[in-house]
Structure 1
Amino acid sequence: MTLFYLIRHGEPDWQINENYRLKGHGRDLAPLTARGIRQVYETSKDQRLRQAELIITSPYTRAMQTSAILSKELSLDIAVEFDLREWQPDLTFEYDTLERLNELVQDYERCGGVYPPGETRIWESKPMLKSRVDSVLRRYAQHEVVIVVGHGMAFRTQVNREDIPCASITEYEIGK
């Protein structure tokens, strides 16, 4: 069994998106707030993390910044995994407002993350997201303990839990 410590990134500064009217993946450049940085330093003190062999992380700024803090505090290497990125609310990468994001999230939730029969949506479905994240985790199943830094929606599909606070640790195991 491999034990994964799923750590959601610290609190991000979403206001940057609105200030710069960022679109698509540009919206994922938001760094952590000062509070988010403090959250991650606090999380790094959790003794369970001392067992980890490495950190794998989403490529998004908020996750990379979280991983950098954990790496420094725990003296662990970081591997960046593109497929640990957050749920894609718009596979066309065109949305550019918080209002549009909220519309897409509401549609996703209304549909339970699954496209209605015979229909498609522009958002990434729950099965697509779960498969993407599963494929990354399986590549690290030869390790005993791995820290995974990523995102709330991505982790929710793995552990079937609704509330995953910023900088929290969720234990998740898979067989080798």
Structure 2
Amino acid sequence: MTLFYLIRHGDPDWAMNEHHKLKGHGRDLVPLTAGGIRRVLETAQDNRLKEAELIISSPYTRALQTAAILSKELQLDIRIEFDLREWQPDLTFQYDSIKRLQELGDDYDAHNGVYPPGESRAWESKESLKNRMEGVIGKYLDYSKVIIAGHGMAFRTLVGEIGDIPHASVIEFIR
């Protein structure tokens, strides 16, 4: 049995996306805000995390920066796992605004992450996201306690619909 500490990344600087008109995966390059860094530093003081053996992280900047802060504070190695990336709102990688992201997210929510029969959507299905997450977790079942630095939608899909997950918060997940 492995205990995973799911830690959502700190607050990202989304304004940078709009300023630079970033598209697709370019939107995932933004760093944390100063407040986001502070929150992650506070999270690193959580006594539960001191027993972890390893940090695994999404490849997105906001998660990597979160993992780096945790690594420095807890003296743990980081492994980057591509499949820990966040839910893909637009598999064509063309979305370029918060408005479009909201539209895609609303459509996902309206269909509960499941494509209507005989249809496809621009967004990644809930099943695909959950399978990616479970695949990564399966690689680390030989450890006792592992930190995962990642994303809210990915974590919600993994553990079940638990509502919004605050930035830099810790959720315990057992496999």
The two structures share one fold, judged by TM-score above 0.5: yes
- Displacement after TM superposition at 1:124 (Å): 0.2
Secondary structure of the residue aligned to 1:35 is: helix
Partner of 1:168: 169
- Displacement after TM superposition at 1:118 (Å): 1.1
Q: Structure 1: which 5+ runs fail to align?
A: none
Partners in 2 of 1:71 and 1:86 — Cα distance? 21
TM-score by length of 2: 0.99
TM-score by length of 1: 0.98
- Displacement after TM superposition at 1:163 (Å): 1.6
Query: What amino acid maps onto 1:119 in structure 2?
Result: E
Partners in 2 of 1:159 and 1:171 — Cα distance? 9
Whether 2:72 is the aligned partner of 1:72: answer yes
CA deviation string 1:11-68 (max 9, x = no partner): 0000000000000000000100000000000000000001100000000000000000
Q: Please say which of residues 75-84 and 111-120 is displaced more in the overlay.
A: 111-120
Whether 2:112 is the aligned partner of 1:105: answer no
Secondary structure of the residue aligned to 1:134 is: helix
| Amino-acid identity (%) | 66
Count residues in correspondence: 174
CA RMSD in angstroms, aligned pairs only: 0.5
Moved over 6 A (4+): none
- Displacement after TM superposition at 1:162 (Å): 1.5
Partners in 1 of 2:163 and 2:81 — Cα distance? 24
Q: Please say which of residues 67-76 and 159-168 is displaced more in the overlay.
A: 159-168
Query: What amino acid maps onto 1:75 in structure 2?
Result: Q
Secondary structure of the residue aligned to 1:162 is: coil
Query: What amino acid maps onto 1:137 in structure 2?
Result: I
